[in-house]
Amino acid sequence: MEFRKLEYFEAVARTGSFTKAAEELCVAQPTITTAVKRMEEELGVALLVRDKRSVMLTCEGKIFLEKVVDILGRIEDSVKEMQEMSAANDWILNIGVTPINGAFVTPALYRDFMESYPMARLQVMELGSYGIMEALDADEIELGYMVLREEGEILRNYETFIIRQGEMKVLVHKDNPLSEYKTIAIEDLAGVPLIYLPTHSYIRQKIDAEFERCGLVPNILSTPEQMVTTYNLVANNVGVSFALGDEFASLIRSEGMEAVPLSRPVRYKAGFVWKKGRVLSKAAKKCIHFIHEYFESG
């Protein structure tokens, strides 16, 4: 039996009129009359007694009306529950960040974004650039925050929103002779022990290309997955590494390090990426706007 027929019958029984029921439901009166008649035929009982002035329920009609009211009430409650769940789901956000800049954006997400939007339910996963794209394709995450690749072919299936851009810098201990350089050339790093970038890092590919251009092989001492490990190794003058622009400038100074520009700049852009055609949740939209404003003001 169609749900609409139940609504028609309930409205007729409640208002005592086919005309009033039709006006309330914004349908033609013959539509309601026909639907109720067919419902009676389907049930095999008369539900209404009709005359020119009014409509009254039969005994069977009264019993059936109680059932219909209960059914319609349950459906209405279920719809409201689903709508509430939908509203709650709109504040669930799974986001992937790359290790190289995850430590840069994650505190702002967990501390400041959550403080501004306490209704949000946030889960941040640390993934490489390719891992982020795979997770986006599989709908395991809604947003990724990563260093954006320049090749349009790779990002053709994704939308992007740039948050920051700048130049890679060489991260050195203050006691390292390279800290006195105004700029550092890749040739200056020949044989220097490197705390290198992870293999899945797009920036590593760009640095590798610079070494290859100079006909050099980088002297890789270690390739930590976490930036905190990289910073600790450089802070102890174990080797030299690379950093995104002036991010963590206060940490670099406090730990006795210097971030020296490359003489041949290696530029980067960082921002959000999401699957093209996907309708973003309210949490995702607020997150993009919040992080953009957060770093613009900073």
Q: What is the pLDDT of residue 131?
A: 86
Q: Which of 56, 84, 112 is the last residue of a domain?
A: 84
For the full predicted model, state whether its pTM sits above 0.85: no
Q: Which of 52, 84, 116 is the last residue of a domain?
A: 84
Regarding whether 235 and 147 lie in a shared domain, the answer is yes
Q: What is the pLDDT of residue 153?
A: 46
118-142 pLDDT tens trace? 888 889 998 878 888 899 999 999 9
Q: What is the pLDDT of residue 186?
A: 95
Regarding whether 244 and 119 lie in a shared domain, the answer is yes
Regarding whether 256 and 120 lie in a shared domain, the answer is yes
Q: Which of 39, 59, 84 is the last residue of a domain?
A: 84
Regarding whether 79 and 98 lie in a shared domain, the answer is no
Regarding whether 285 and 151 lie in a shared domain, the answer is yes
Regarding whether 179 and 43 lie in a shared domain, the answer is no
- The runs of H, that is alpha helices, within the chain are 3-15, 18-25, 29-43, 59-89, 99-107, 114-116, 129-137, 202-213, 227-235, 249-254, 282-297
| Residue range(s) defining the domain that contains residue 261 | 92-297
Q: For the domain that residue 179 is a member of, what is the CATH number?
A: 3.40.190.290
| pLDDT bucket at 147, cuts 50 / 70 / 90 | confident
161-218 pLDDT tens trace? 988 888 889 999 999 999 999 999 999 999 999 999 887 777 788 899 999 999 999 9
Task: Using alpha carbons only, give the angle 48, 51, 55 rounded to the nearest 5 degrees.
Answer: 40
Number of domains in the chain: 2
**143 Rama class: left (phi>0) / alpha (psi -120 to 50) / beta:** beta
| Tokens 């890679």 -> residue | 168
Contact in structure between 45 and 58 (CB atoms under 8 Å): yes
231-264 pLDDT tens trace? 889 999 999 999 887 666 666 766 788 899 999 9
Q: For the domain that residue 76 is a member of, what is the CATH number?
A: 1.10.10.10
In percent, how much of the chain has pLDDT > 90?
32
Q: E strand or H helix at 147, and its extent?
A: strand 143-147
